Amino acid sequence: MYSEDSGSIGGKVEMNAHGDYADGSRMRIVFLCDQYPPVVWDGAGTYTHAAAHALAELGHDVHVVACEGRRWSDTVDGGVSVHRRPALTIPVTKLLGPFRRLVIGAHSPRDSLSIRASLAASYALWMRLLHLRPDVVETQDGETRGLFFALRHSVPLVIYLHTPTMLDVWLMGRPLSWRGRLADRIDRLSSDRADVLTSPSQLLVDTLRRFGWLEGEVPEIIPPPAPAGPWAEVSSALPTDPVVLVAGRQEWRKGGDVIVEALPRLVGIEGVEGLFAGASSGLVGGRPYQEWLSDRADAVGAPCRFLGPVRRDAMADLYGRSRVVAVPSRYENFSTVAVEAMACGRPVVCSATGGIAPLVERWGAGTVVPPDDPVAPLAPFLASPEWAAEVGERGRTAVRRELDPEVIARRRQAAYEKAVEKHHARARSTRAAAASA
């Protein structure tokens, strides 16, 4: 779809009468994501990796621009060009010294305005210097990576709705300060001005609308792709010990404390253990969540191990050691951990307040429960490796059938083509208005 005349690589392509490219078989797609593996701390990075590779498999020219830390490299990862560039940091709080409390919000860093400015400036600068000239740019909501592109309408923009930064604060029932309200309004600018919005689940769309997002917008529901390759060699749950795995960012919304409370009540099952894998995020009672959770486990006598952050290439081993995977989130748009667990043949016990719940129910790949009480559903899987293995195999089938990367990539390609058409239509309308003025 891209043209040599614009300075991009590839052959020259003619445009049709509508101003669209006649040959839509190849697009230059640029993802903006500072969590691209191995730097992953939540589902946005995992999703970007899977989507980028699936689109590259279709023959598209796919790039990822990742602004994080001080890295500077250009590599090719399975057909995906990855450009890592330093983030432009704005050390406002350090410069203010003892007066830093005057600019730190009540929910820092979620409501940080300097982080938002840094993200917007970083991606705008490096995209300009890289001269990528994309046919379409995709990034996530809740941050400002694509803010300049959204404000200028300079390139077709697709926003993948993930989890807006201030959503956790809303879900905990806490009021937003003026800074939080401003931060949320800035976050909404990109999604409000995007050409196309997509969402992994209807649950996320409904939730965002409750909090004033997506007014008049109808996002397309496209779940994330789930490549089977990384998990295909994980054996069934038959030879496992009664281990419950809780993986992902450890924070209040993810509900790890629900499993801590449940473990001592699983009486009669010898050797039960909870494995918690993931970085701590947020505070409970003024303390880091995982520190608070570990103390709570000691207080109630829960047999737990807290592994902290785990590299993505070590996750297959963790799934293989577990008999059941718990996703007790009080809210989760579409759990990557649940999908990976199903691909590994592990039954999933998840909350009804998670976007993955319909898939689990549809395939009988585990048990869906109300939030805050997974004890009874965990017990049958922990007590019977045979039952865990049988249910886990249903999950493998579900992932293969519904989340095949090629199928999902073609749906995303259609969304990009729609974004390009809307972008061109807006440009034509603007030119026509200027000509008639």
Cβ-contact 389, 396 below 8 angstroms? no
The domain ranges of the chain are 4-225+405-436, 229-402
Predicted local distance difference test score (pLDDT) of residue 158 = 96
Mean pLDDT on 368-392: 90
Confidence of residue 101 (pLDDT cuts 50, 70, 90): low
Residues 6+ apart with CB under 8 A from 292: 284, 285
The residue with greater pLDDT, 393 or 22, is 393
Predicted local distance difference test score (pLDDT) of residue 112 = 83
User: Which range in 98-102, 107-111, 202-206 is most confidently predicted, on average pLDDT?
Assistant: 202-206
CATH superfamily of 4-225+405-436: Glycogen Phosphorylase B; (3.40.50.2000)
Kindly report, residue by residue over 128-150, the tens digit of the pLDDT: 999 999 999 999 876 789 999 99
Per-residue pLDDT for 20 more than 60?
no
The Cα–Cα gap between 278 and 312 comes to 10
Predicted local distance difference test score (pLDDT) of residue 2 = 44
Mean pLDDT on 414-426: 95
The pairing of beta strand 324-327 with beta strand 304-308: unpaired
The architecture (CATH level 2) of 229-402 comes to 3-Layer(aba) Sandwich (3.40)
Kindly report, residue by residue over 326-378, the tens digit of the pLDDT: 999 998 889 989 999 999 999 999 999 999 999 999 999 999 998 876 668 89
User: In residues, how long is the chain?
Assistant: 437
The residue with greater pLDDT, 24 or 429, is 429
Kindly report, residue by residue over 154-167, the tens digit of the pLDDT: 999 999 998 888 88
**How far, in whole angstroms, is CA 194 from its chain's centroid?**
18
Residues 6+ apart with CB under 8 A from 77: 53
The Cα–Cα gap between 387 and 379 comes to 11
Q: What is the pTM of this model?
A: 0.83
Residue 63, classified by CB atoms within 10 Å of its CB into exposed (0-12), middle (13-18) or buried (19+), is buried
Helix spans in 58-112 (H): 92-96
